Homo-oligomer: A and B are copies of this chain.
Amino acid sequence: MNRSKITLADIAETAGVSPATVSRVLNGDPRVATDRVERVNRAIKELGYSPNRAARTLVTGKTGLVAAVIDSNLNVFSDPFWGQITTGISQALQEANFSALLMVRPLDVDDPSVVASLAPGQVDGAIFFQLHNDDTVNLLQDMGLPLVVVGRPEASSKLVYVDSDNLGGAVQATEHLIARGCRTVATVAGNQQLSSGRLRLEGYRRALVDADVAFDESLVAYGDWTDESGAAAMGTLLDSRPDIDGVFVANDLMALGVMTVLEQRGLKVPDQIAVVGFDNMFAGRLGRQQLTTVEQDVQGLGAKAASMVIQMIDGGKPSSVVLPTSLIVRETA
């Protein structure tokens, strides 16, 4: 049970070879004679040895660590996707023998601590989540840190990102509503501080324009992604525009609120008013129906981000990626 201190030297001794040889075996150097490889591996297994990361890092300069950085000012906390994304990241990193370092920090203040934690030599790369401002990230990039952003940075930014096709998904959703015959299509938009919120609204607008329908401000209401805010937004919308016969809701949680309001007002879904959500968060029914929604591959988002960062660490220059979304037609539209 005293695994306390088994070093490479120990196993060199019991295997009767030099430390250098052990190191070579560990790193798969093909030049070592097979019988020695055998002896070394046996010794490793026997003594239950595992190499000391710190020592290895010290000489190679590679930490084997990739940081996943979340702006704590952002409430991604309660987002159910957060778990899936981190899972995607963690597993993809793991397969490439990296570990994920989790950092939930305020990014907007000029906090030197986050920069220090990510300075060269501390981690090999980093993945940032949808940020308010890019300053810190740009600084780190200039310092030579391989990094990718999950979500969409400012258009002018040079940052490499990976994102779901929020725009395309919103277009699909809205087109679907138009195609099924809705004449007055409204939207409950999400937080416009976030690129996902902006793009889903823009997709709605674009689909309308493409269908030669004028964009009408009075058909847009804003929520903050919560079910509550969705309900409130839908209420406002209906009060001013009772003629609405279709609504694209920027996420499923708000759609939950929307469905509730529609039921309270006795509006039949989808006959009187059709509803499309975004996220595919609920497998089951919302009110009387199953929600038609846009699905995104959240775990894939994380995995992609991880593989891109690894690519950059290996000296590659991957370009930004937008992952496709797909419309899942169920009962509400």
Whether, in the assembled complex, A270 has its beta carbon less than 8 Å from a beta carbon of chain B, the answer is no
A287 touches B260 (CB 8 A): yes
Task: Report how far A102 CA is from B123 CA in the complex, Å.
Answer: 14
Whether, in the assembled complex, A90 has its beta carbon less than 8 Å from a beta carbon of chain B, the answer is yes
Q: Which of A104-136 contact B (CB under 8 A)?
A: 104-105, 116-117, 119-122
Whether, in the assembled complex, A285 has its beta carbon less than 8 Å from a beta carbon of chain B, the answer is yes
Whether, in the assembled complex, A78 has its beta carbon less than 8 Å from a beta carbon of chain B, the answer is yes
A25 CB to closest chain B CB (Å) equals 16
Interface string of A227-243 (1 = CB under 8 A from B): 11011000000000000
Task: Report how far A84 CA is from B80 CA in the complex, Å.
Answer: 10
Across the interface, which residues of B come within 8 angstroms of A228, CB to CB? 283-285
Which residue of B87, B263, B283 is within 8 Å of A288 (Cβ)?
Answer: B263
A168 CB to closest chain B CB (Å) equals 24
Tell me how many residues of A have a C-beta within 8 Å of chain B.
Answer: 62
Answer whether A3 and B119 are a contact pair too, CB < 8 Å, given A58-B54, A94-B105, A260-B286.
yes
Across the interface, which residues of B come within 8 angstroms of A260, CB to CB? 284-288
Whether, in the assembled complex, A264 has its beta carbon less than 8 Å from a beta carbon of chain B, the answer is yes
Whether, in the assembled complex, A214 has its beta carbon less than 8 Å from a beta carbon of chain B, the answer is no
Beta-carbon nearest neighbor of A90 in chain B: B104
A263 touches B287 (CB 8 A): yes
Which residue of B86, B104, B120, B287 is within 8 Å of A104 (Cβ)?
Answer: B86
A103 touches B117 (CB 8 A): no
Across the interface, which residues of B come within 8 angstroms of A282, CB to CB? 227, 256
Across the interface, which residues of B come within 8 angstroms of A91, CB to CB? 72, 104
Whether, in the assembled complex, A57 has its beta carbon less than 8 Å from a beta carbon of chain B, the answer is yes
Which residue of B4, B121, B284, B286 is within 8 Å of A120 (Cβ)?
Answer: B4
Answer whether A68 and B102 are a contact pair too, CB < 8 Å, given A54-B63, A80-B79, A284-B231.
yes
Interface string of A56-80 (1 = CB under 8 A from B): 0110000100001010100011111
Task: Report how far A117 CA is from B52 CA in the complex, Å.
Answer: 10
Which residue of B55, B100, B231 is within 8 Å of A58 (Cβ)?
Answer: B55
Across the interface, which residues of B come within 8 angstroms of A138, CB to CB? none
Whether, in the assembled complex, A316 has its beta carbon less than 8 Å from a beta carbon of chain B, the answer is no
B263 touches A284 (CB 8 A): no
Beta-carbon nearest neighbor of A55 in chain B: B58
Answer whether A284 and B226 are a contact pair too, CB < 8 Å, given A52-B58, A63-B54, A122-B50.
yes
Name 6 A/B residue pairs within 8 A (Cβ), A-sorted.
A53-B121, A82-B82, A86-B102, A99-B117, A226-B284, A227-B282
Closest 5 CB pairs of A and B: A82-B83, A54-B57, A228-B284, A227-B284, A80-B80
Other A-B pairs, 8, CB within 8 Å; known A77-B83, A227-B284: A90-B104, A94-B103, A228-B285, A231-B284, A256-B282, A260-B284, A260-B286, A260-B288
